[in-house]
């Protein structure tokens, strides 16, 4: 590798590191401060990068927060796929799918997403970015489900992943207020049971 190529690679690595720091700091700020109170200055400070570097990578707050949330969704989706691929033989795939999906739509991931969704309701420019991002994430969830359960069939098979996803988002919202882990566990068990019934009907 010549010196020019080595220097370019080093610059690209530094740039990628800076972007990653900004994206992670954005999620932390959304989670802790909320969308309205989060500023790009807060994010740059938390990321430990200069204001100029932040503006170079993400000129606007809207671009930064939507990129950060989608980056997190993509990372969690990849983690979901990897965790499922490494399940031991004989493991209950429905049970694990529900548990893994719940981990994706609860906690900091969900809170950051909720902040964006609420803000986008009255912010036209943010709405234009958030809506297609939400659609891409939901499409990814459906595609992953169809890959994991290719034998699906029956009258409710096509709606079951959308139903499970909707229930979990509502449950995550409720959990923010009620903090009732036992209720969450009972409802997730019901989602698993419904999922197993749907799969069994397709055979």
Q: Are 194 and 95 in contact (CB under 8 A)?
A: no
pTM: 0.79
- Annotate 140-165 with b (16+ C-beta within 10 A) or e (fewer): ebeebbeebbeebeeeebeebbeebb
Q: Which residue has the tokens 């949330």?
A: 69
In what helix (H) or strand (E) does residue 181 lie, and over which residues does it extend? Answer: helix 181-201
The reported pLDDT for the residue numbered 146 is 76
**Where in the chain are the domains?**
61-201
Residue 132 C-beta-side C-alpha neighbours within 13 Å:
6
The reported pLDDT for the residue numbered 148 is 75
The reported pLDDT for the residue numbered 111 is 86
Chain centre distance of CA 7:
34
C-alpha distances in Å from residue 53, one per residue of 16, 38, 43, 68, 70: 12, 18, 11, 16, 21
The reported pLDDT for the residue numbered 52 is 95
Tokens describing residue 200: 């069994």
Q: For each successive 10 residues of the chain (203 residues), what is the average pLDDT? A: 64 92 94 94 97 95 92 82 80 85 82 89 90 86 76 65 86 90 94 76 56
Q: Are 191 and 127 in contact (CB under 8 A)?
A: no
Nearest to 142 by CA among 167, 117, 154, 159: 159
Q: Give a three-class secondary structure readout of 37-64.
A: CCCHHHHHHHHCCCHHHHHHHCCCHHHH
The reported pLDDT for the residue numbered 56 is 94
CATH classification number, 61-201, choose in 1.10.357.10, 1.10.760.10, 2.40.70.10, 1.10.40.50 = 1.10.357.10
User: What DSSP string runs through 79-101?
Assistant: HHHHHHHTPPTT--HHHHHHHHH
Which one-letter DSSP state was computed for residue 123? -
The reported pLDDT for the residue numbered 157 is 67
Tokens describing residue 141: 């969830």
Q: Which residue has the tokens 């719940």?
A: 102
């Amino acid at each position: 590798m010549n010196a020019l190529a080595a220097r370019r690679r080093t610059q690209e690595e530094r740039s990628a590191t800076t972007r990653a720091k900004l994206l992670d700091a954005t999620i932390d700020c959304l989670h802790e401060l909320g969308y309205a109170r989060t500023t790009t200055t807060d994010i740059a400070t938390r990321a430990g990068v200069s204001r100029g570097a932040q503006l170079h990578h993400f000129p606007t707050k809207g671009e930064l927060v939507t990129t950060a949330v989608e980056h997190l969704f993509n990372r969690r989706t990849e983690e979901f796929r990897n965790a499922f691929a490494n399940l031991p033989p004989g493991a209950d795939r429905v049970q694990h799918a529900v548990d893994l999906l719940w981990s994706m739509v609860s906690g900091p991931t969900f809170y950051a997403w909720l902040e964006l969704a609420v803000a986008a309701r009255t912010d036209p420019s943010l709405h234009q970015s958030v809506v297609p991002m939400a659609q891409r994430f939901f499409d990814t969830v459906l595609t992953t489900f169809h890959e994991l359960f290719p034998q699906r069939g029956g009258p409710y098979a096509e709606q079951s992943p959308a139903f499970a996803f909707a229930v979990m988002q509502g449950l995550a919202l409720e959990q923010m207020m009620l903090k009732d882990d036992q209720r969450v566990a009972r409802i997730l068990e019901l989602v698993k049971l419904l999922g197993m019934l749907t799969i069994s009907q397709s055979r």
